[in-house]
Amino acid sequence: MNRKIVLLLIMLGFVTAGLWFLTSRTNTESEALAYGQSHYIFSPQKDDATYYWFSVGVKTRYADGRYRIISVTKNVSEGKIKRFEKALWKGLAYRKIAIGPFISSEDAKKARLIYKALIRVKKEGDLAKINAPDFGHEVYWFQIKFKESPRLRSFIFEHGPASVQSGSSKNFLSALFETLGYQQIAIGPFEDYQRTEEIKRIYRQNE
């Protein structure tokens, strides 16, 4: 009899734990959704903040199929979020990709140095020679797939996996080199996970 009671209590414990997990997960997802709806930072009509970005030129026609960064704008641009969006979509017509938006010019300049360093990288072993700027914290990024339109000779974004990744600036450097080998480019690095998710939405608008 005692053994049956013990087994019953154990089963009851499992059921209680399962119900708690499901309730907790539902609450967390609801809170996350509410946060995303109330803290969406990139609204051209409401956001008066100044952001920073730069553009990179990418060459896609190589025999090995790897994309390569061939140029990076000399200066960092700044403006409202609507201006960044215009720079992003206009740049695609000239086979350039705007990288950003960053919340500080310092972060944009550090990121620019990473992309610029990739111009002289020919193989993975060359990455060890690059001193990636230290952001002083964990950074976040995502990758975007794109190709050159044969008819328009412009870049177009394609739908594909774009989960947010995290790590050090050195990890981002490696990810940037790796994604170019898959006809993609890593966008970042950014200082905050939620902000990176919001930035990703801008790039995915016209996939």
Q: What is the pTM of this model?
A: 0.76
Q: Specify whether 80 is located in the same domain as 18.
A: no
Angle separating helix axes 81-92 and 193-203, nearest 10 degrees: 50
Q: What is the 3-state secondary structure (H, E, C) of 148-196?
A: ECCCCCCEEEECCCCCCEEECHHHHHHHHHHHHCCCEEEEEEECCHHHH
Same domain, 67 and 35: no
Strand partners, 97: 56
Tokens 């390569």 -> residue: 68
Q: Are residues 29 and 57 in the same domain?
A: no
**In-domain check, residue 44:** no
Q: Do 3 and 77 reside in the same domain of the chain?
A: no
* Full residue range of the structural domain in which residue 199 is found: 51-203
Whether omega for the bond prior to residue 150 falls within 30 degrees of 0, making it cis, is no
3-state DSSP assignment of residue 132: coil
**Does residue 156 fall inside a structural domain?**
yes
Per residue of the chain (207 residues), give pLDDT as tens.
556 554 555 555 555 555 444 444 444 334 333 433 334 455 555 678 999 999 999 998 777 778 999 999 999 999 999 999 999 999 999 999 999 999 999 999 999 999 999 998 888 888 888 888 888 899 999 999 999 887 778 999 998 878 999 999 999 999 999 999 999 999 999 999 999 999 999 998 866
Question: Are 169 and 70 within one domain?
Answer: yes
**Domain contains 46:** no
How many domains does one find in the chain?
Answer: 2
Between the alpha carbon of residue 120 and those of residues 113, 146, 189, the distances in Å are 12, 22, 20
Domain presence at residue 81: yes
Q: Are 129 and 198 part of one and the same domain? A: yes
pLDDT at 44: 52
Statement to judge: residues 104 and 192 lie in one domain = yes
57 and 146 belong to one structural domain: yes
Give the list of residues 6+ apart from residue 115 with CB closer than 8 angstroms, or none.
54, 56, 69, 72, 99, 176
The one-letter code for the residue type at 63 is: A
Do 97 and 146 sit in the same domain of this protein? Answer: yes
pLDDT the model gives residue 124: 82
Provide the residue count of the chain. 207
Is 45 a domain residue?
no
* Interior angle at CA 116, CA 97 and CA 70, nearest 5: 60
Give the pairing of strands 184-190 and 139-148. Answer: antiparallel
